[in-house]
Amino acid sequence: MRRVALFLLLLLPTAYFAWRHADMPQFGRWIHDDSVYFVSAKSIAEGHGYRILSYPDTPFQTKYPPLFPLVLAGVWKLNPHFPDNLVLGTLVSWLWVPVLLWLCLRLFLAYGFSEKQAWAMTALFAVNPYLAIFGSSMLSELPFTCLLILCLLFCIRAAQERAPVRWAVLAGVTGGLSFLTRTTGLMLLASGVVCFLWRKQRKQALWFAATMLPFVAGWTIWTRLHMVHGADPVTLYYTTYLDYHLYLVKLADLPMILWKNVDQWLLGVGALIIPEASDARIVKIVTQTVGVAILAGVVRLVRSGRALDYAMFAVPFSIMLVAWHYPPTERLVAPVYPLLLAGFWRELRHIASMLGVALHHRDKSQRVAAGATGLMLVGVLAAGAWMQYNVGWRILPREMNERRKEWAADEIAFKWMCTHLPHDAQVLTYNDPILFLYTGHRAASLEVVSMFWYRGNLDVVLDTYAHVADFAGVQRLGYAYFTHTDFRRHMGDADRKRVIELIEHNPDLEVTQRFASATLYRVRPHREMAAP
């Protein structure tokens, strides 16, 4: 009973956050993916198949695997009225939190930690502000991580001496479901087989691979049969990961991408303890130092014979992140946070053990050095605790309130569009799924390519939006809608304002209606336009 009460207590921070922000004001604004998931879920629920209903010509959704949108389709079935159904979406998203925390507890125990240590690590995860935001957003990180850990737990059971084959089969099934949630689950296929073969368990490796492969093959074949073969970067962005990556990244870009991504990845690892809330150089250095310590703890954990399965997944997963065309932020690192948390705990105990020995050393200088190091360690941990509180209870709520103001401003414009635009009008805008869900008008966004961030070259973005009417013509977008808060996902305020100013002075855009913080334009059909 005490364990149940403790577990329920651990759920309170994320439950309160989800309840306080049940209207999901961050939907489609902090991250584009959640709104695309919800649009695809709407398509499934309404019987249109697995399509991107918001995009012109409604192509099949061949970018995101279907399992998570299939879950969200239930939200549309129960309540088809947007944005009222965001409250139900928040509940569905939060329900993954208790599942994940319970699985983490089981995983820590399986890795040989004592019960008290396992509960302590689970508690650290439960109060993490990133868990709160993921648990109140319609993103696939939490369900994917749940399936990932469940697969690892089945692998641990399958690896035991004389274990029945069913555990390897269950591991393969959950691995396949994780792949149908996020395609990075493919790493499990390789890591699971390698771990079984490393232990000379060929039968388990065979059953695991044979069970997981049909999931991988089925989705791969389906996407190839239904993929839109477009050469323009926007179509590629919406419909395929790999082709868009190959379009953007040239061989000469790899050193720059790797350099910046390793830096960001290490920051994302350390942010598990010290959330990213400041651009100060010293904060970044301390956070990345904590990240190095966490990685050292993971290595110690693996060398002691624990967490091999998780580490074998994390290595190719992390390599993919640092070679990808997008910065590996905390959200993308999240699936390996339970492993990193175990590494942090292992390294913390190792450092505490060394300090304990040094504090009792006969040499006074050793005791002084140990005392100073201990004080620094306490200071870093205290700073991490403060920043977690600051992010979770002050910064995030403040950001949520700002997003609510943006919602209110957009709603006025969307209501105007519903009554004044032709029923078949299509709109160029930044947050295109949101506009579609509110108004029913199909929309598209001229995506700001991530290579701008790597190269630090705003001219590429400016040139793209200088020819915005060309793109609108190709996609048959007769109107354009932009707000003063657009482009926050991709750039800072100074660069963002330059892009907005360029749009406002574009001669190919004619003002149709001005709102308090946004403008609706009509795209002038002045010439035949070519694809960008």
Rounded Cα distance between 160 and 154, Å, is 10
Query: Which has the closest alpha carbon to 518: 496, 505, 502, 500?
Result: 500
- Is the confidence at residue 529, as pLDDT, over 50? no
Model confidence at 528, pLDDT cuts 50, 70, 90, reads very low
Rounded Cα distance between 103 and 150, Å, is 7
pLDDT score of 358: 87
Burial class (CB in 10 A: 0-12, 13-18, 19+), 358: middle
Average pLDDT of the chain? 93
The phi and psi torsions of 496 (rounded to 5 degrees) equal: -60, -40
The C-alpha torsion from 299 through 303 and 309 to 311, rounded to 10°, is 10
Mean pLDDT, range 251-258, rounded to an integer:
89
pLDDT score of 532: 39
Question: What percentage of the chain exceeds 70 in pLDDT?
Answer: 98
Mean pLDDT, range 161-185, rounded to an integer:
96
Mean pLDDT, range 241-262, rounded to an integer:
89
- Is the confidence at residue 247, as pLDDT, over 90? no
| Amino acid identity for residue 372 in this structure | A
- Is the confidence at residue 349, as pLDDT, over 50? yes
DSSP string, 174-190: HHHHHHTT-GGGHHHHH
What is the residue whose two structure tokens read 């709407």? Answer: 42
Mean pLDDT, range 141-146, rounded to an integer:
98
pLDDT score of 363: 87
pLDDT score of 231: 61
pLDDT score of 530: 40
- The secondary structure of residue 524, as a DSSP letter, is P
Mean pLDDT, range 283-307, rounded to an integer:
95
Contact (CB, 8 A) for 19 and 124: no
Mean pLDDT, range 129-155, rounded to an integer:
97
Rounded Cα distance between 45 and 143, Å, is 20
pLDDT in tens, 77-123: 999 999 999 999 999 999 999 999 999 999 999 999 999 999 999 99
Rounded Cα distance between 90 and 95, Å, is 9
Beta strands 443-444; 427-429: pairing state? parallel
Q: So where are the chain's domains?
A: 249-359, 398-523
| Amino acid identity for residue 8 in this structure | L
Rounded Cα distance between 483 and 66, Å, is 32
Model confidence at 229, pLDDT cuts 50, 70, 90, reads confident
- Is the confidence at residue 527, as pLDDT, over 50? no
Model confidence at 230, pLDDT cuts 50, 70, 90, reads low
- Is the confidence at residue 453, as pLDDT, over 80? no
Q: For residues 487-505, b (16+ Cβ closer than 10 Å) or e, as one string?
A: beebbeeebbebbbebbee
Mean pLDDT, range 144-150, rounded to an integer:
98
pTM score, two decimals? Answer: 0.95
Rounded Cα distance between 463 and 144, Å, is 38
pLDDT in tens, 272-284: 999 987 788 899 9
What CATH number labels 398-523?
3.40.50
- Is the confidence at residue 526, as pLDDT, over 60? no
305-319, 354-368, 406-420: segment of lowest average pLDDT: 354-368
Rounded Cα distance between 197 and 456, Å, is 45
Contact (CB, 8 A) for 60 and 50: yes
Per DSSP, helices labelled H in 199-305 are 202-226, 233-239, 242-248, 254-270, 281-303
Rounded Cα distance between 215 and 185, Å, is 11
Model confidence at 443, pLDDT cuts 50, 70, 90, reads very high
What is the residue whose two structure tokens read 């130092």? Answer: 289
- Nearest-10 crossing angle of helices 141-158, 308-323: 140
Beta strands 427-429; 479-483: pairing state? parallel
